[in-house]
């Protein structure tokens, strides 16, 4: 599961899922820095960022995900669960982040403000339409339906599924796991 090679490279596969504003991207980047593992956003597998609002063909999306999943180590984060099930199967750890709804929605608004003011960079141009969708469509759907579907989907992987309320619990868990793990060389 958690292996460290003679050169110090960490080999582990982590899948992180949660609603908009749950802290998936933030904690994936922190894990990436801490363990030296590449992190990938499922949004970037779906959206062709060279165009506005253009999706990659499903075949391209799936091929990109397969290429990632078939590597030794990765962190994949995103809300997507109706496709890419192999990322759950191949993961060593599955983290489901379910924060307080007020905190989650506040993060979405703050990210919107920071990106609009140029304080923070994001993958796409934040619009009022995006803000509305995140808060009142996507997050509501996550609360009402998607979380149930994710829990059902990951039930067969319950031995490697960890549900947290705070995204920082993910890093804390992984550091404790690494420090208590009998490293294989």
DSSP per residue, 136-168 = IIIHHHIIIIIHHHHHHHTGGGGGGEEEESSTH
Question: Which phi and psi angles does 17 have, rounded to 5°?
Answer: -140, 145
* Separation between Cα atoms, residue 165 and residue 96, nearest integer Å: 8
Answer for the pair 80, 42: CB distance below 8 angstroms, yes or no: yes
- Pseudo-torsion of CA 158, 161, 162, 168, nearest 10°? 180
What pLDDT is stored for residue 122 in this prediction? 72
- The per-residue pLDDT for 184 is 42
pLDDT of residue 178: 85
State the chain's maximal CA–CA distance in angstroms: 51
Q: pLDDT grade, residue 183 (50/70/90)? A: very low
Q: Are 83 and 5 in contact (CB under 8 A)?
A: no
pLDDT at residue 68, rounded to an integer: 97
> In whole angstroms, what separates CA 29 from the centre of its chain?
10
Q: What is the pLDDT of residue 52?
A: 72
**Nearest-angstrom CA–CA distance, 70 and 77:** 16
Residue 7 has pLDDT above 90, yes or no: no
- Which tokens belong to 120? 């923070």
20-29, 43-52, 69-78, 136-145: range with lowest mean pLDDT: 43-52
- 162 has a pLDDT exceeding 60: yes
pTM, two decimal places: 0.89
pLDDT at 185: 32
pLDDT band at 36 (very low <50, low <70, confident <90, very high): very high
Instruction: Give the side-chain half-sphere CA count within 13 A for 149.
Output: 15
119 versus 52: which is more confidently predicted? 119
Quote the DSSP letter at residue 135: I
> For residue 154, what are its two tokens?
């990951």
Identify which of 113, 129, 99 has the alpha carbon closest to the alpha carbon of residue 20. Answer: 99
């Amino acid at each position: 599961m958690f292996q460290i090679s003679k050169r110090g490279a960490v080999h582990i596969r982590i899948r992180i899922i949660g609603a908009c504003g749950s802290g998936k991207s933030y904690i994936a980047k922190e894990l990436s820095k801490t363990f030296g593992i590449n992190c990938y956003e499922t949004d970037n597998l779906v959206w062709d960022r060279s165009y506005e609002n253009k999706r990659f063909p499903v075949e391209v999306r799936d091929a990109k995900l397969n290429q990632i999943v078939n590597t030794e180590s990765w962190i994949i984060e995103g809300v997507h669960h109706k496709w890419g099930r192999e990322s759950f199967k191949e993961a060593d750890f599955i983290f489901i982040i379910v924060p307080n709804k007020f905190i989650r929605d506040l993060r979405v608004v703050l990210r919107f403000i920071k990106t609009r003011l140029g304080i923070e960079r994001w993958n796409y141009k934040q619009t009022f339409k995006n803000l509305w969708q995140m808060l009142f469509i996507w997050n509501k759907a996550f609360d009402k339906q998607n979380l149930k579907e994710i829990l059902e989907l990951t039930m067969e992987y319950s031995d490697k599924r960890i549900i947290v309320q705070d995204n920082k619990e993910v890093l804390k868990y992984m550091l404790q796991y690494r420090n208590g793990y009998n490293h294989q060389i």
